[in-house]
Structures are given as structure tokens and as C-alpha cells.
């Protein structure tokens, strides 16, 4: 594992922007980082540990990993060693994703995300954390936006900050302005060592399809990605149809139109 205890300031510009623009951190916050061991969550952990040194407010950090039980050799030692170099406590628990998926009718990816999210929320509550930091980056947001648009006709993606009313937790996505290629570059330069993803579906998901679709369409339209990213923003330039009316309202309109 890398022994680098800090990240250069130039790598932190976008995380500072997200933290400040979306009011992500307040004095006294206790933030639990979702650490999978992949490049994104390792960069997030290192970045927040560096931010913690310089932020004008005091807040605490710790990391939590869900062992999906895809592999018998869960890298607990490697994850703990990674966290220790930043002085962070590491927690982990097992969640048998494949066993849980057998009892549900949706895709394993949906079930995996659902149970990992539920486990993280539960652990945060148990440990007294009020916020959870996830490592979704800008590409994730754009791909989610396109996935929802094409698969369900919904113009939606995840938000930089989401308050969960049921658990009273706030979910943060501090890497929301980073492109994936930037994180790959920074992780290499920092000599961080991401762990191999044990998921048997890695690289064979609908999200991967969206990633490849964006690459394909961008060949003829280099501005495609930036246009998709812009479409995720609220803007006065939007011109959309009114929301669909319930069927009973449509029937009432027809009857009124024909005078019946």
C-alpha cells in the first residue's frame, strides 16, 4: 500500500468546489466513507482526509466496507492498512448479495446497490454518524442520467447531497465534479493501489452499456458528454411537455369537450 499521507492541492480543487457549493460539511459532522477498495473510494478517502486537515470546521471521518461475499478472500488487512495511513478507523461487515438476490425479481446490480446502501445506512446509524460520503463521480452521474432517460423515460440522476428522511442521514457525493479519467490519473500518480473488483458482473452491466454508448456517440459529436452533463442541471431554458394527467382527468376532459 502507498504511504503517501496527503494529496497535492491541485488535485483537490474540484472537491473543495463541491463541498463549498453544495454546503456538504458543517462543524461537528461525523462522516462515514463508503470504501469499496476501488480507485474512486480510495481517492475519496485520501482526499477527505486531506481536506480534514485544512477545512475551517471540525469533522470526523471513518470508513466502512460491505463484504459482498463474492470472494472468500476479503481484503480486510489491505483495507485497514490503507485507512491507517490516514489515521482513520475501518469497519466492515458481510452481506450475502447473491443469496439475497435469489429472493428478488430484479437484476443483481439493483439488489447489490440496495443491500449495500441499506447496510451502510444502518452502520452509520449504529455508530452515530450523521453523514455518508460516497465516491460517485461525474461520469457516474451522466451515465445514470442517460440510463434513466433511455430505460424509464425519467430525467433524473443522483444528487450531490441527498437527505434521507427515514434514517435522518445525509448522503454526500464530494467527487461529483471529477471525471473518471482524472481519478484514474491521480490514483496512479499518488501510487494508490486499488483492489480488484470481485463482482462477477463487473464490466457486463447496463451502466457499462451507457459508458460505451457515450463513447460511440461522442465520435461524431465531441460535445455530447458536456451536453448530457448540462442537461442534468435545472435551467430556465427547459421546454418540456406538461406532466401526464391521470386517466380519470383525461376522461373528464373528453366529456367536457363533447359536452357530455
Residues 144-159: tens digit of each pLDDT: 999 999 999 999 999 9
Residue 184: its H or E element: helix 180-189
Instruction: CATH number of the domain at 152, please.
Output: 3.40.50.620
- Percent of the chain with pLDDT strictly greater than 90: 73
Residue 64: its H or E element: strand 60-67
Total domain count, the chain: 1
136 in Cβ contact with 173 (< 8 Å): yes
**Domain assignment present for 239:** no
Cell numbers 466502512: residue: 64
For the cut 50, the answer to whether the pLDDT of residue 177 exceeds it is yes
**Domain assignment present for 184:** yes
Domain that holds residue 89: 9-231
For residues 205-219, give the mean pLDDT. 92
Buried b (16+ CB within 10 A) or exposed e, 145-172: bbbbbeeeeeeebbebbeeeeeeebbbb
Confidence (pLDDT) at 2:
45
Residue 91: its H or E element: strand 89-94
Grid cell locating 128: 452515530
What is the band of 99 on the pLDDT scale with cuts at 50, 70, 90?
low
> What is the Cα–Cα distance from 21 to 24, expressed in whole angstroms?
8
**Domain assignment present for 191:** yes
3-state secondary structure 66-82: EECCCCCCCCHHHHHHH
pTM above 0.85, yes or no: yes
Cell numbers 445514470: residue: 144
What is the band of 114 on the pLDDT scale with cuts at 50, 70, 90?
confident
Q: How many CA atoms lie within 13 A of 241 on its CB side?
A: 5
| Nearest residue to 58 via CA among 88, 87, 29 | 29
For residues 228-232, give the mean pLDDT. 95
Confidence (pLDDT) at 1:
44
Amino acid at each position: 500500500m502507498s504511504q503517501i499521507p496527503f494529496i497535492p492541492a491541485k488535485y483537490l480543487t474540484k472537491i473543495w468546489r463541491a463541498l463549498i457549493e453544495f454546503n456538504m460539511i458543517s462543524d461537528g459532522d461525523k462522516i462515514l466513507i463508503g470504501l469499496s477498495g476501488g480507485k474512486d473510494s480510495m481517492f475519496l478517502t485520501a482526499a477527505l482526509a486531506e481536506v480534514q486537515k485544512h477545512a475551517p470546521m471540525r469533522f470526523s471521518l471513518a470508513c466502512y466496507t460491505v463484504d459482498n461475499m463474492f470472494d472468500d478472500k476479503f481484503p480486510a488487512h489491505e483495507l485497514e492498512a490503507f485507512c491507517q495511513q490516514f489515521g482513520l478507523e475501518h469497519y466492515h461487515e458481510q452481506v450475502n448479495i447473491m443469496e439475497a438476490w435469489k429472493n428478488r425479481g430484479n437484476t443483481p446490480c439493483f439488489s447489490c446497490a440496495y443491500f449495500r446502501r441499506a447496510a451502510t445506512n444502518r452502520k452509520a446509524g449504529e455508530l452515530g454518524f450523521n453523514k455518508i460520503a460516497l465516491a460517485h463521480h461525474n461520469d457516474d452521474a451522466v451515465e445514470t442520467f442517460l440510463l434513466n432517460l433511455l430505460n424509464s423515460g425519467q430525467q433524473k440522476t443522483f444528487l450531490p447531497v441527498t437527505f434521507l428522511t427515514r434514517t435522518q442521514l445525509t448522503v454526500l457525493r464530494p467527487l461529483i465534479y471529477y471525471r473518471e479519467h482524472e481519478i484514474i490519473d491521480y490514483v496512479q500518480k499518488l501510487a494508490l493501489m486499488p483492489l480488484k473488483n470481485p463482482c462477477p458482473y463487473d464490466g457486463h452491466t447496463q451502466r457499462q452499456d451507457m459508458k460505451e454508448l457515450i463513447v460511440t456517440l461522442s465520435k461524431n459529436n465531441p460535445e455530447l458528454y458536456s451536453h448530457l452533463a448540462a442537461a442534468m442541471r435545472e435551467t430556465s431554458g427547459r421546454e418540456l411537455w406538461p406532466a401526464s394527467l391521470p386517466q380519470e382527468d383525461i376522461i373528464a376532459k373528453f366529456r367536457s369537450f363533447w359536452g357530455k
